[in-house]
Amino acid sequence: MDDHRRKIITNEIKYWKQNRLLPEHYCDFLLNLYTEGSSEADSTRKKRPSGTKGIIGFILVGLLSLSVFLFYFTELSLFLQTALIIFFGITTLSAAFYMLKKSFFDLIPLLASALLLLITSVQAAEIIFPDHPVILYLVAGLNCLLWITAGAKWKILSFKLSGIIGLIILLITIFI
């Protein structure tokens, strides 16, 4: 195969890999096949800024810990709790979408976003409807269904299992 064709094919495979049109291991195999194992295939791997991932992950875990501490171990006013819920929610969701868009698909931002969404939605349900446990069950069930959906969409087994186990525990809590 001449070099011009090989370059066109490898560029197309790199495009597929970058835009996730094929699974990454398929693209790696095809790149190794067409480049005959040369170093060009190694240069196609994204150089992930591990420092950025670490910092964002650390901040999200810190926000999660801070939100648990602020909501459950302090007596804040309703206005301050609402403001913190909105701030933490927007921060974690934007960090998770940023990391997904930049293709450093990591479990930490998704996990932190999911847990913070659970904490904030349960806290909001308790504040808005203090004497209605059915609303609390509904909010927790919707969070579990969201985890199952996200796990199915992004093929993350831990999200699927967490959602299923959460629904089972919720049903046991309701009926027992």
Q: What is the pLDDT of residues 101-127, one digit of tens each?
A: 765 556 777 787 888 888 888 888 888
Higher pLDDT among residues 40 and 148, named by residue: 148
User: Which tokens go with 176?
Assistant: 């027992």
Q: Which domain holds residue 161?
A: 129-176
Residues 6+ apart with CB under 8 A from 143: 114, 117, 118, 121, 166
Burial class (CB in 10 A: 0-12, 13-18, 19+), 112: buried
Sign of CA dihedral 65, 126, 87, 155: positive
What pLDDT is recorded for position 62?
83
CA nearest neighbour of 115 among 80, 153, 152, 159:
159
- In a domain, residue 124? The reply is no
- In a domain, residue 121? The reply is no
- Neighbouring CB atoms inside 10 A of 4's CB total 8
Within this chain, do residues 56 and 107 fall inside the same structural domain, yes or no?
Answer: yes
- Full-prediction pTM beyond 0.75? no
Half-sphere exposure of 164 (CA within 13 A, CB side): 8
- In a domain, residue 123? The reply is no
- In a domain, residue 20? The reply is yes
Q: Mean pLDDT score of the chain, rounded to an integer?
A: 81
Within this chain, do residues 53 and 108 fall inside the same structural domain, yes or no?
Answer: yes
**Structural contact between residues 136 and 83, judged by C-beta atoms closer than 8 angstroms:** no
State pLDDT tens for residues 16-75.
888 888 888 888 888 888 887 764 544 445 445 567 777 877 887 888 888 888 877 888
Burial class (CB in 10 A: 0-12, 13-18, 19+), 13: buried
Residues 6+ apart with CB under 8 A from 85: 67, 120, 123, 124
